[in-house]
């Protein structure tokens, strides 16, 4: 069994609810179709009915929970909780509403924070900074983790190097010039 197959098997054995906030990108729905078909995770897709209909045309996303943040009964609770979380930074109800409804990544992070989902997958059309900013403002890091880092997982078929052709390249996008302490933290997180 290859590395990706191992990850999929572990995900199926401990199924989580994952939010996909990028309903404006067709690739989100292509991935959702595969995830649902293979029963890897339960999915929530955030978007307006128009966005979802347009970008999922011809794809089977049956089984995904579709959330329109403009009409969901939970939106006001997310707004209130976001104001409370960020009140020391001057967050107002008006600004919270504008942020959550204007950037679905913030909405998705509030869903995780409030226990309505286990995780978020983003990056198809959000930059690294636009994916991380809401995550760090709302979900935060695990207690004791001082450094956020990123890595790329590369699987090279029929390769004698790495772990059966599997490589982790870290930190490829966040810490551009880490000192020895940060480098050690990156290696520990990657492992």
Model confidence pLDDT, tens digit, residues 79-137: 999 999 999 999 999 999 999 999 999 999 999 999 999 999 998 888 888 888 999 99
Q: What is the reported pLDDT for 152?
A: 85
Write out the residue limits of the CATH 3.40.50.10950 domain(s) in the chain.
3-139
28 DSSP assignment:
H
Q: Which CATH architecture has domain 3-139?
A: 3-Layer(aba) Sandwich (3.40)
Q: What is the pLDDT of residues 139-188, one digit of tens each?
A: 998 888 878 888 888 999 889 898 889 998 888 677 778 889 888 888 88
| Spatial distance between the Cα atoms of 97 and 105, rounded to a whole number of angstroms | 13
Q: What is the reported pLDDT for 7?
A: 92
| Spatial distance between the Cα atoms of 154 and 69, rounded to a whole number of angstroms | 35
Q: Is 5 exposed, middle or buried (0-12, 13-18, 19+ CB in 10 A)?
A: exposed
Q: What is the pLDDT of residues 47-81, one digit of tens each?
A: 999 999 999 999 999 999 999 999 999 999 999 99
| Spatial distance between the Cα atoms of 72 and 186, rounded to a whole number of angstroms | 39
| Spatial distance between the Cα atoms of 68 and 39, rounded to a whole number of angstroms | 23
């Amino acid at each position: 069994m290859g590395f990706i197959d191992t990850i999929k098997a572990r995900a199926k054995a401990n199924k989580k609810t994952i939010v996909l906030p990028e309903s404006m990108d067709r690739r989100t729905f292509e991935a959702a179709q595969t995830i649902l078909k293979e029963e890897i995770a339960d999915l929530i897709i955030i978007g307006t009915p128009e966005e979802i209909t347009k970008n999922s045309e011809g794809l089977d996303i049956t089984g995904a929970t579709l959330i329109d943040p403009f009409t969901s009964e939970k939106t006001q609770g997310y707004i209130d909780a976001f104001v409370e979380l960020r009140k020391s930074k001057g967050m107002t109800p008006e600004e919270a509403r504008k942020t959550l409804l204007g950037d679905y990544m913030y909405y998705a992070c509030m869903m995780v924070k409030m226990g309505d989902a286990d995780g978020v997958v983003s990056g198809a059309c959000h930059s690294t900074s636009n994916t991380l900013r809401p995550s760090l403002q709302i979900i935060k890091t695990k207690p004791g983790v001082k450094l956020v880092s990123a890595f790329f997982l590369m699987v090279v078929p029929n390769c004698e190097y790495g772990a059966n052709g599997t490589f982790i390249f870290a930190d490829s996008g966040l810490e551009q010039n880490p000192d020895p302490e940060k480098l050690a933290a990156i290696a520990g997180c990657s492992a």
